Amino acid sequence: MKGPFNPRDYRVLVVDDEPSVLFTYRLILEQEGYQTSAVASAREALQKLQTEQFDIVLCDYSLEEKHTGLEVIELARRKNRAMPCILLTGYANQETVQIAEKAGVGVLFKPIDIEEFLAAIPAKLRESNEHQAAAKSR
């Protein structure tokens, strides 16, 4: 990221199976200026990931039909290995957090603090861009 951070430059995919939570995330992100797609299932997320480009994925850990956010993130990273991702969870155990962090996935715990939520997105995007730049210079 060169120059000042501008949310309007980024497309965000948000995945959460709770409609009111999904609506809230989308509203907050759109008010900040992000181009936001919000879906309520792993299946919908897969369809979006196959047909659209995103800069970051924000995903609830616990999804419908025993799917997990880590599965969605894995699918996103099949298309783009460096895809920045943040797992949003109220249920993750320490093992899940360790798996996520080892994979370079940010973790935010519910109830989500809005300031932390909004700070985590540009931080994860910057981190991803720095890793990509470092990999290119090798």
In this prediction, residues 106-125 reach a mean pLDDT of: 95
Residue ranges and CATH numbers for the domains of the chain are 9-136 (3.40.50.2300)
Q: What are phi and psi of 87, to 5 degrees?
A: -95, 130
Contact 31, 12 (CB under 8 A): no
In this prediction, residues 58-71 reach a mean pLDDT of: 93
| pLDDT tens sequence across 1-44 | 456 889 999 999 999 999 999 999 999 999 999 999 999 999 99
In this prediction, residues 63-80 reach a mean pLDDT of: 93
| C-alpha span between 30 and 9 (Å, rounded) | 12
Residue where the block lists tokens 């320490």: 94
Map the chain to HEC letters: CCCCCCHHHCEEEEECCCHHHHHHHHHHHHHHCCEEEEECCHHHHHHHHHHCCCCEEEEECECHHHCEHHHHHHHHHHHCCCCCEEEEECCCCHHHHHHHHHCCCEEEECCCCHHHHHHHHHHHHHHHHHHHHHHHCC
